[in-house]
Amino acid sequence: ASLIEGRNVSKVYATATAPLVALSDVSFGIEEGEFVSLVGPSGCGKSTLLSILGGLEERTDGTLVLDGKHHDAPRADIGMMFQTSVLFPWRTVRENVLLPGIILGLERKQQEARCAELLSMVGLDGFGERYPSELSGGMRQRVGLARLLAHDPRVLLMDEPFGALDEFTRETMNIELLRIWERTRKTVIFVTHNIGEAVFLSDRVFVMTPRPGRLEGIVEIDLPRP
Ligand code: ADP
Ligand code: ADP
């Protein structure tokens, strides 16, 4: 069975005017360790689907199964990252990365060691005692990436994580993300509206096709790695 399975997932937003169908009968399976991209034009429901997987939004209909268990928000198993990482400005880089572990009550010594390792992994050696205001946008996303990995989630949900960065920085970050993925084999679901980026990164690309007010479904393209 797949690690993550969605069956006929639908989402209707209540709005001031008519109800808005953001997802309609979307079904998919994602295997453990897979890097999957979710692509499609703006408004096709990518963020909605990711938010449902992360437990930030409730689905209107359908079923969602994680590792054989029906669930709505398996928080410790899931890490989410967005276009900009909201960092605590009065906390150092190190303290920001330690935060998820503190919230989850993980062992402090172990987390400190892991934090040093992660900062090195994302190219922030020597930046642990800096404050977010001293960092560039790219470096703040590196902090976000380290924080995402800090509590060792099984599944990474990334919503255009480098989309706000300039092209060179984005490509660099994409390559680093791939290196990290090759080392950790986390299950990654990566949202982008850039098909080139999706093809570069993923094992499989889910293309979401918009229809007037609804979604047709998901087309899968298999991209075997060399
Ligand atoms: P994408 O990430 O592909 O750009 P979204 O999931 O953000 O698409 O949006 C899908 C559709 O749902 C869009 O029509 C959007 O306007 C609508 N939508 C998203 N969030 C909300 C919300 N909180 N309330 C009402 N409509 C929403
Ligand atoms: P576009 O012309 O729309 O930018 P490309 O296919 O050239 O489309 O690239 C799209 C995105 O895919 C790039 O901005 C980058 O994020 C990613 N990408 C493509 N090729 C590479 C690569 N060799 N290394 C890193 N990222 C890449």
pLDDT (tens digit per residue) in 69-92: 776 555 668 999 999 999 999 999
Report the separation in Å between the CA atom of 65 and the middle of ligand 1, taken as the mean of its atom positions. Answer: 23
Please report where in the chains the tokens 């919503």 appear, as a residue.
159
Q: How far apart are CA 59 and CA 10, in angstroms?
A: 6
Mean pLDDT value of segment 42-69 = 91
Report the separation in Å between the CA atom of 127 and the middle of ligand 2, taken as the mean of its atom positions. Answer: 28
Most informative mutation of 165, 171, 182 for ligand 2 (most atoms within 8 A of CB): 171
How far, CA to CA in Å, does 201 sit from each of 3, 111, 112, 123? 20, 29, 30, 20
pLDDT value for 218: 65
**In the chain, what are the helix, strand and coil shares in percent, each to the nearest 5?**
35, 30, 35
pTM: 0.88
pLDDT band at 181 (very low <50, low <70, confident <90, very high): very high
pLDDT value for 74: 55
Mean pLDDT value of segment 56-69 = 90
The yes-or-no verdict on residue 214 having pLDDT over 60 is: no
Lowest-pLDDT range of 16-20, 24-28, 50-54: 24-28
Cα torsion at 141, 171, 176, 161 (round to 10°)?
30
The yes-or-no verdict on residue 165 having pLDDT over 60 is: yes
Q: How far apart are CA 27 and CA 11, in angstroms?
A: 13
Buried b / exposed e along 12-35 (16+ C-beta atoms within 10 A): eeeeeeeeebbbbebebebeeebb
The yes-or-no verdict on residue 122 having pLDDT over 60 is: yes
Mean pLDDT value of segment 155-169 = 97
